Amino acid sequence: MPDHLNEAALRAENARLRRQNAALATQLAAALRRVGALSVGASGEGGEPEDLTRLARTLRDHDAPWEVRAAAAEALGLLGDPQAARPLARALADSNAAISYAAEMGLRRLGAAAVPALIATSRANLWETRWRAISALAAVRDPRAVEPLVAALADPSAQVTRPAVAAIGLYAAVGLMPTERAIALLRAALRHDDGDVRYSAASALGELRAEVALPDLVAALRTDTGRNVCGESVAEAAAWALGRMRDLRALEPLLEALQSERWNLRWAAAKGLGLLGDVRALEPLLAALDDDDASVRAKALKGLGLLGDSRALPPLLAHLRAADADIRAAAAEALGLLGDRQALAHLAPALADEDSGVRASAAEALGNLRDRRAVAPLIAALEDADASVRYDAATALGQLRDRRALPALEALRERDPRTREIVAKAIQRIQQSKQNDT
């Protein structure tokens, strides 16, 4: 065939595909518009049956563009029709991650109606499919999901076990399963081969304040060198959990860890000691401000802030003038946690620090002080060149709930899409406040 005929055929095929894609996109957009109209209507009913049929057909059409199929999965979830659960559950096995993710999110939106389909899919052959199903079951918070989640703790794939462990702690925290059973399962999970599973188990035990697990967490603090997929150490999670329990039996193990040769263990211990809230940790944490590792010094500053002892104020103020910007930022954060309003005169100038991280931490800290003398400098910080500083300044002004901030916040909402959502929340908090004394 001559080259010019090949080119003509390709152009014709491309044109046909464009028309097909346009038709599918138009069809989906129309369905989504109907869903949107129904979602704000008074009837509270789901979409039309033909919407479900059309979207389900699009989802399983492997000749359709993946973007359209993923959008169809999203729309099925938005429809709120229980009949959408089966096609969405089947799509959890799709080889395209965007489509399987959209299907998972759709099933989460369906909530309780999706549980039977998710339970069935949690026994699929492919670990990726089981992982999606268990992740969705973890999110829907339905008592029927308890046994599948427990079964997933023994799944041969750690990827499947990870969301199940976190869910066990959550389900117990909200009363969907007996706390004693959850704690026993989580203690067993502390012995799992996967570091991420152990990290989640330690964190969940801390959330549940499971004092019976204190020996297990102390052992993890002292000997576990594993990490989760984000690089966070299991020992860190154990230290946090021990501090969270506020059980004074954890003091000695944490103080011991603060003297470890492993910097990450010292770092974790400083965090745990602050959470523990025992004033006997004050001097050791002050000594940790001279640690060779900057990250340990930063965490010791935060620990001192969490401890809430006013004797920590002078060293925290001194570190607000440190050469290292990370240390200055940590000192600012700690001053906010300490809550001593004497720090305001030092934090307000930090809003002009050369480092944006320090400025953002200072803004956050000023909000935590709950002192309306900070309103004027925080309003000025809404003009900062860095979006994170503007974000934290707006959040802080929302915490202070002073009407003087409204004009500046409203102007920022109009011009800055990056902070618009948090600014709107700050405005709402101020408008809802009944106390507007200046």
- Asked whether residue 312 carries a pLDDT value surpassing 70, the answer given is yes
Tell whether the model's pLDDT for residue 427 goes beyond 50.
yes
Q: Contact at 8 Å (CB) between 336 and 305?
A: yes
Q: At 340, which helix (H) or strand (E)? A: none
Residues in the chain: 438
Where is average pLDDT lowest: 25-29, 147-151, 192-196? 25-29
For every residue of 376-426, DSSP letters joined together read HHHHHHTT-SSHHHHHHHHHHHHHHT-GGGHHHHHHHHHH-TTTHHHHHHH
pTM of the model as a whole: 0.77
Q: Kindly write down the DSSP assignment for every residue of 165-184, as one continuous string.
A: HHHHHHHHHTTSS-HHHHHH
Domain with CATH 1.25.10.10 in the chain: 27-40+47-140, 142-245
Class of domain 27-40+47-140: mainly alpha
* pLDDT at res. 66: 85
pLDDT band for position 110 (50/70/90)?
Answer: very high
Give domain 142-245's CATH architecture. Alpha Horseshoe (1.25)
Q: Residue 44: which pLDDT band, with cuts at 50, 70 and 90? A: very low
